[in-house]
Chains A and B, each alone.
Chain A
Amino acid sequence: MNRKLELASGAVLASLMLGVGAASAEEIRLMCSSDGNECEAAMEIIQRFEADNPDVKVVMDKVPYKAILENLPVQLAAGTGPDIAKVTDLGGLNEYYLDLAPYVDRDYWETSFGDTLNWYRSGPDDDGIYGLHSQLTITGPYINKTLFEQAGVEIPAADADWDTWADAARQVAEATQTPFPMAMDRSGHRIAGPAISYGAKLFDENGDPILVDDAFTEYVNKFVGWHNDGTMARDVWGASGGTSYQDAAQEFINGELVYYFSGSWQVQRMDSSIGDAFDWEVVGSPCGAAGCSGMPGGAGFVGFKDTKHPETVAKLIDYLAQEDNYAELTAKSLNIPAHSGVAAKGVTYIDASQKANDALNAWGAQVAKILPVAFKYQGYKNNRAMFNITLARVSQAIVGELSVEDAMDRAKEDLATALAEAGK
Chain B
Amino acid sequence: MIRIVSFFMDLIDIPMRHAQRYLRGHSIAWVFLFPNLVLFGLFAFLPILLNVAYAFTGTDNIMLWDRTYVAGENFAALTACSNYLDANSCELDLFWRSVHNTLLFIVLQVGIMVGVSLVTALILNRRIRARGFFRSVFFFPVLLSPVVVALIWKWILQRNGLMNAGLEQLGLERVVWMLDRNWAFAWSVFLSVWAHMGFYTLILLAGLQAIPRDVYDAATMDAAKPFRTFYRITLPLLMPTMLVVMVLALIKGVQTFDEVYAFTGGGPGSATTLIIQYIYETGFAGAPRLFGLASAASIILALVLAALTFLQLKFTRRNADG
Contact = CB atoms under 8 A, between A and B. Distances in A.
Interface in A57-110: 69-70, 73-74, 77-78, 89, 92
A234 B62 CA distance: 37
Contacts of B63: 77
A69 B266 CA distance: 19
Interface in A387-420: 387-388, 392, 395-396, 398-402, 406, 410, 413, 417-418
A241 B271 contact: yes
With most chain B CB atoms within 10 A of its CB, the pick from A78, A242, A399 is A242
A395 B269 contact: yes
B272 A424 contact: no
Interface in B269-303: 269-273, 277, 281, 284-290, 292
Given A74-B62, A410-B93, A421-B59, A242 B288 contact: no
Contacts of A387: 287
Given A422-B60, A424-B68, A396 B288 contact: no
B268 A385 contact: no
Contacts of A262: none
A382 B287 contact: yes
A244 interface: yes
Interface size on A, as a range, is: 35 or more
A77 B59 CA distance: 13
A239 interface: yes
Contacts of B284: 70, 74
A422 B292 CA distance: 12
A242 B58 contact: no
Given A70-B285, A77-B63, A382-B287, A421 B58 contact: yes
Contacts of A179: 159
Contacts of B270: 241-242, 392, 396, 401
Contacts of A238: 179, 267-268
Given A235-B159, A395-B268, A89 B287 contact: yes
A395 B287 contact: no
Given A234-B179, A384-B287, A388-B286, A242 B93 contact: no
Identify the 6 closest CB pairs spanning chains A and B, nearest first. Answer: A241-B267, A241-B266, A77-B62, A384-B287, A399-B269, A244-B265
Interface string B50-63: 00000000111111
Contacts of B189: none
27 contacts: A69-B285, A70-B284, A77-B61, A235-B178, A235-B179, A239-B184, A240-B268, A241-B272, A242-B266, A242-B267, A242-B270, A242-B277, A242-B281, A242-B285, A243-B281, A244-B265, A246-B265, A399-B269, A401-B97, A401-B269, A406-B88, A413-B91, A418-B287, A421-B59, A422-B288, A424-B58, A424-B68
Given A234-B179, A241-B271, A382 B266 contact: no
Interface of B: 58-63, 68, 88, 91, 93-94, 97, 159, 176, 178-179, 181, 184, 261, 264-273, 277, 281, 284-290, 292
Nearest to A180: B159
A241 B269 contact: yes
Contacts of A385: 286-288
Contacts of B159: 179, 235
Contact of A396 (B178, B184, B269, B287): B269
Given A238-B268, A241-B267, 11 more contacts: A69-B285, A70-B285, A241-B268, A244-B265, A385-B288, A392-B270, A401-B271, A418-B288, A421-B290, A422-B59, A422-B60
A413 B90 CA distance: 12
A402 B88 CA distance: 9
A241 B265 contact: yes
A131 B269 CA distance: 35
Interface in A336-355: none
Contacts of A392: 94, 270
A382 B266 CA distance: 24
Contacts of A92: 287
A382 B290 CA distance: 13
A77 B60 CA distance: 10
Interface string A228-268: 00000011001111111010000000000000000000000
Nearest to B159: A235
A69 B273 CA distance: 20
A70 B286 CA distance: 8
B49 to A, nearest CB: 17
Nearest to B63: A77
Max chain B C-beta neighbours (<10 A), residue from A92, A179, A384, A395: A395
A399 B287 contact: no
Contacts of A398: 268-269
A421 B268 contact: no
B268 A239 contact: yes
